[in-house]
Structures are given as structure tokens and as C-alpha cells.
């Protein structure tokens, strides 16, 4: 059991554990903060997968951006002081059903992953992916990149428009 393996299990546990807290917690604030750890775990996994740039991006955007956004959302849409901060769940039946479904889904997915004979072609270890990504974005994926930037712009403007006070 080397360090990498250990690190993997740690991050995997971090991710899945807090992920479970996110979906199971009745308190929406707890969920939000648990999400932070989940993202952090995912970032760790990226590091283990030699995706340094993505790990940084994960932390910066997810944790610094999206999560803050979500927390704002929580705060703006929930009366902070009341018990209402706790998010209700649906009925027991539905809960059971969805849980069963989710478990089934997980089982199926795992089964598929395990039973599939994946084409394995380990990539060469690269120290830094940033340069490669930058090259790819501005050459091979230029149009997608531009489209994504426009999408972001539109999303920002749209969000601002939708959320503005009428």
C-alpha cells in the first residue's frame, strides 16, 4: 500500500463521505459545507490523476465560485434564522424508492464498469498539463473555447437579467 493508494482512498473517502452528507443532511448549510469537502476530495483525485491544472481549476472555480454562489443562493432563498434552513425531504415512500433506485443505479454502474473491458492506454506522465491544455484550447478546441466563452457571457448576462429586481 503505497502513498498514492492511500491518498486515493483518502480522497475517495473524502469525496464519497461528504457527498453522502451533502445528499443526506437535513440542514442545507451543512450540505453546502459538506459539498466543499467533496469538491476538495475530487480535486485531490485530479491530482492523483496527474491533472494538476484541473485540480487547481476545480478548487478555484468550484470551491471559489460555484460553491460561494450556492451558499449565496441558500442564504437568499431561505430565512436564515428559522428552522427553515433545514431542507425538507420528500415522503418516506419516495425516499425509499429513490434510495433504492440510486443504489440500483450505483450497483449497475459499478457492475458495468467492472464488467467492461476498457481499452487501457496509460498516458505518459506529464509534469504540467497547463501548457498542453492552453495549446489545445487555442488550436484544436478554439471554436469550442470561443463558444464556451460566449456561453459564459450569455449566462452571466442572462443570470443578471433574470435575477434583477423587477
Partner 1 sequence: MIEFEIMTHEKILLLSLSVLLIPMVSFLVNVFFGRKLGKISGWIGTTILAIDLVIAAVVSYSKLVIYPDIQVIQTKFEWFSLGSSSFNVGYGIDNIAAIMLMVVTVISFLVHLFSTIYMEGDRRFPTFFAYLGLFTFSMMGIVIANNFLVMYIFWELVGISSYLLIGFWYEKNSASNAGKKAFITNRIGDLGFFAGIMILFMTYGSFMFEDVFAGISSGKLPFDNPTMLTIAGICIFMGAMGKSAQWPLHVWLPDAMEGPTPVSALIHAATMVAAGVYLVAKVFVMFTADALTFIAIIGTITAFVSATIAITQTDFKKVLAYSTVSQLGFMVMSLGTGGYTNGFFHLVTHAWFKAALFLAAGSVIHAMHHAMHHLHDHHSDPQDINNMGGLRKSMPWTYFTFLFVTLALAGIPFTSGFLSKDGILANTLAWANLTGGWHWIVPVLAFSAAGMTAFYMFRLTIIAFHGKPKTEIAHHAKENQLPIVLPLVVLSVLTIWFFYSPNPIDATAGWFHHRVVQPETAVPAAYQWDFLISGDEGHTDALHADAGHAVAATQHAEVSAEVTSGSHYQNKLQEEVHHFHYIAMILSLLIAGSGIGLAFLIYQYKVISADKLEARFRKLHTFSLNKWYFDELYEKTVIGGTLLASKGLALFDNYIIDGIVNLSAAINRVAGQVIGIFDNVVIDGAVNLTANLTGYMGGMLKKLQTGRVQSYVVFALLGLLILFFVFI
Partner 2 sequence: MEIGLNHYLIVSGILFSLGMFGILSRKHAVMVLMGLELILNAANINFVAFARYGGMNIDGHIAAIFVIILAAAEAAVALAILLNIYQHFKHVNLDEVNNLKE
**122: how many CB neighbours lie within 10 A of its CB?**
5
Task: State the first-to-last Cα distance of the chain, in angstroms, to the nearest integer.
Answer: 59
Residue 26 DSSP code:
S
How many Å apart are CA 31 and CA 148, to the nearest integer?
A: 29
132, 138, 142, 146: residue in contact with partner 2 (rule CB under 8 A): 132
* Binding track, positions 41-60, relative to partner 2; x by CB under 8 A: -x--xx-xxxx-xx--xx--
Write down the least CB distance from residue 5 to partner 2, Å. 5
Residues that bind partner 1 in the complex, under the rule CB under 8 A:
90, 97-98, 101, 104-105, 108, 112
99, 128, 138, 142: residue in contact with partner 2 (rule CB under 8 A): 99
Q: Is 65 in the site for partner 2 (CB under 8 A)?
A: yes
Listed in sequence order, the residues at least 6 apart from 8 whose beta carbon sits closer than 8 Å to its beta carbon are: 45, 48
Residue 27 DSSP code:
B
Write down the least CB distance from residue 112 to partner 1, Å. 7
Q: Is 39 in the site for partner 2 (CB under 8 A)?
A: yes
Write down the least CB distance from residue 134 to partner 2, Å. 10
Q: Is 160 in the site for partner 2 (CB under 8 A)?
A: yes
Q: Is 81 in the site for partner 2 (CB under 8 A)?
A: no
Helices 142-163/130-138 angle, 10° precision: 90
Helices 67-77/28-48 angle, 10° precision: 170
Write down the least CB distance from residue 149 to partner 2, Å. 8
Amino acid at each position: 500500500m503505497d502513498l498514492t493508494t492511500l491518498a486515493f482512498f483518502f480522497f475517495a473517502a473524502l469525496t464519497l463521505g461528504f457527498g453522502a452528507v451533502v445528499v443526506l443532511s437535513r440542514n442545507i448549510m451543512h450540505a453546502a459545507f459538506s459539498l466543499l469537502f467533496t469538491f476538495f476530495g475530487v480535486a485531490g483525485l485530479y491530482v492523483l490523476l496527474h491533472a494538476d491544472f484541473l485540480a487547481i481549476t476545480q478548487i478555484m472555480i468550484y470551491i471559489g465560485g460555484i460553491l460561494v454562489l450556492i451558499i449565496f443562493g441558500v442564504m437568499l432563498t431561505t430565512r436564515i434564522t428559522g428552522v427553515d434552513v433545514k431542507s425538507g425531504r420528500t415522503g418516506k415512500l419516495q425516499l425509499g424508492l429513490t434510495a433504492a433506485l440510486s443504489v440500483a443505479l450505483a450497483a449497475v454502474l459499478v457492475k458495468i464498469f467492472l464488467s467492461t473491458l476498457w481499452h487501457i492506454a496509460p498516458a505518459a506522465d506529464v509534469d504540467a498539463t497547463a501548457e498542453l491544455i492552453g495549446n489545445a484550447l487555442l488550436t484544436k478546441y478554439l471554436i469550442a473555447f470561443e463558444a464556451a466563452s460566449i456561453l459564459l457571457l450569455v449566462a452571466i448576462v442572462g443570470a443578471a437579467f433574470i435575477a434583477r429586481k423587477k
